[in-house]
Amino acid sequence: SPLEALDVARANRLDWMNARAALVDVWRQIEIRANALQSNLNLTLGGDLSTLDNNPLRFRSTTGRFRAGVEFDAPLVRLAERNLYRESLIDYQRARRLYYAYEDRVNQSLRATLRALTVDQLNFEIRRAAVSLALTQTELTRYRLTRPPKPGEATVLGATTSRDLVDSLQALLNAQNGLLSVWIDYETLRINLDLDMGTFRLD
C-alpha cells in the first residue's frame, strides 16, 4: 500500500536520512543561538595596597583600598544576539517546510508509481486475453485453409482467405508485442519503486 511504501522509504532512503539530519542541524542552531541570550552575572573584586614615605617595603593596611562590584548583563540589551536567534527560528521554519515538501514529493512519486503498477497489472491481463483471442482467430483462419472441400466442390480458396490469414497473423504479432511492452513497463516500474523506496542495493 502507499502508506507501507512510504514507511519503507522513510526507513531506507539515504537522501531522506540526509534531509532529516539537515533539519535537525537547523533545529540545533536555535539552541546554540538561545545560549548566547542567557544572562550573565559577574562578581568583580579589585584592590591595591600602598606604601608609606616612598619606602617600597613599608606597607600599612590603612593605605590600601578594596573594591567589590556586581556586573549584570541582561538579554534585553543584546540586539545582535536576539536578531540571530530570530533568524535561526525563521531558518528552522523554512527548513521544516522544505522537509515537508520533500516528504510530499516522495509520497506523490510512490503513489504515482503504485498506480501505474496497478494499471500495468490490469493491462497485462487484458493483453493476455488479446493474445489468446488473436491466437484463436489465427487458428480459425488456418483451419479454413486446411478444411476439406464439400462433396461436389472444387478446392478453391476464397477471395479473402489469404488476406484474412495475413491479417490474423499481424494481429497476433501486435497482441504479443503489446503484451511484452506492458510486461517490460511493469518490470521497469517495479525496479523504479524499489529504487524510490531505498531498498534497491548495488553490490
Highest mean pLDDT among 38-42, 61-65, 80-84, 89-93: 89-93
What value does the mean pLDDT take over residues 88-98?
A: 92
d(CA 90, CA 27): 10
Question: Is the model more confident about 22 or about 147?
Answer: 22
C-alpha 111 chain-centroid distance: 12
* CA atoms of 31 and 24, how far apart (whole Å): 11
**What are the backbone dihedrals phi and psi of residue 79, each rounded to the nearest 5 degrees, phi first?**
-70, -45
pTM above 0.85, yes or no: no
- pLDDT at position 96 is 92
Per-residue confidence band for 100, with pLDDT thresholds at 50, 70 and 90? very high
pLDDT(74) > 80: no
CA–CA separation, 171 and 135 (whole Å) = 9
Maximum average pLDDT range among 58-62, 96-100, 136-140, 191-195: 96-100
Give the integer Cα–Cα distance in Å for 180 and 128: 10
Model pLDDT, residue 9: 85
Q: Using CA atoms, how far apart are residues 110 and 13, in angstroms rounded to an integer? A: 13
pLDDT given for residue 193 in this prediction = 87
